[in-house]
Structure 1
Amino acid sequence: MLDHELREAAWADDVARARRLVGRGADVNAKDETQQSAYLISTSEGHLELLRLMLRSGARVDDKDSWNGTGLIRAAERGHWLVVGELLQAGIDRDHINRIGYQAVHEAVWLGADTPAYAATLRVLAAGGVRLSDISPSAGLTPLEMARERGFGRLEAVLETVAGAAPPTRPDRALLRAAERGDAEAVAVALRSGADIEARDERGRTALLVTAARDAVEAAQVLVASGADPVVADRDGVTPLEHARERGSRAFVGLLRDAD
């Protein structure tokens, strides 16, 4: 009964109720007859705070649904880029192939849409080190070929850039320069190449602080989803949120609040 109630709370994104149920012994991994668990529901529905509760409460991060798909595949299909980043940070299998022959990156393209949310999803997947050029065993296409087949110019441009980029020789420097330019694809490539997400420039700023000062929201999305510290301050004690408020950037302030 408790497990059923927890799944109901997950569908409703009722985090307070879910927390109480977990405290009473509900199992975040318990599945119903359709192979849905509270943990898996949090991934497909994009419930970030709930997902964090599930992970803290013993979620099996690589658990599978009825399609033999991971939470990462489910989140990527829906374009939930913040959830994608959270799962990658949690160590989920980045390149698992589900029953219909798709990895998360294939799912984001073939079953996604040519929108900013899916572009952000691809950047976060790339930053997290997923393989970008695998051929889907069922579709016979790479993610880039899928984007072209679907006529998704936005997603095609992201994949062309990140999949074709050579790893920078100095990833930390490349990350900070990409942040200065507001280049979201270059940020993803630098992180993919091992850049320290909290590396600082000569003014003591992290990449996230640089993007906040420039109101570079797309680049900041990649950083925030990949684990950049949203409250770290520069040498003057100014945080990314304070920079965004000073610039009057509602989009940047909203991004930081969504990720909190």
Structure 2
Amino acid sequence: METLMRARTILTKASLLVLAASVAGGTMSSAQAADLAPAQVYARPPVVEPFNPLMIRLRVLGVLPDSEGSSVNVGAIPPLSSPNSGLSISDRVVPELDITYFFTPNISAELILAVTRHHISGTGTLSGLDIGKTSLLPPTLTLQYHFTGFGPFKPYIGAGINYTAFLSQSAARTPIAGLVVTDLHVNNTVSPAIQFGFDYMVDRHWGLNFDVKKLWLRPDYSATVNGTIPVTGRANIDPWLISGGVTYKF
């Protein structure tokens, strides 16, 4: 048995010497020698992109009020009240920033930030009456579901809540047909919101966005005409918010 073990050791050493001599003499390539020698194969782990939950968008926002159905109650002059009269609220285009936070690749929350200024005028028997101006600060928070499986095209839907603060309110104080609005106040209000839109990602970070929201924004208001006549009602602003711009995913 001992003789057999010594023979095996001598044979192994001889094989290694022959292998080394063959490589040195050029009769066997290094690759062929490597094939004969024992080798260990190390699998490279797959590259996994880190999940970053934050996304921002810079967009151009069009605010398109739908004021049909607004009410006007002129207590001292019933013929000037609804349904004979109503309100018209101007459209507006402004820059807008939104911040989106992803809880999962499919579920996120979005907050939009913008300020718009609108002109209010009368319709019907109050047609031509300049009522005044007000600025809207309408932060809107929505919970979104993002559809996956469409490659760079990433559509989503959402629903949430809006709180609108009316700032810098001013009466027109412009006389028309013997009437002049001398005071104006629009109440802050909460309203529901729905949305749909999509991102088209050019690469991992940058993309293009299109978004549509609908708000049911119906604040109460009060005004004074000619310094003494009280006017009250509800302004059905109900705007469509249509926007497009640039997406950046961190």
Larger Rg: 2
Select the structure with the greater relative contact order (CA < 8 A; seq sep ≥ 6): 2
Higher strand share: 2
Q: Aligning the two structures, in what range does the TM-score lie when normalised by the shorter sequence? A: under 0.3
Higher helix share: 1
Scaled by the length of structure 2, the TM-score of the pair is: 0.18
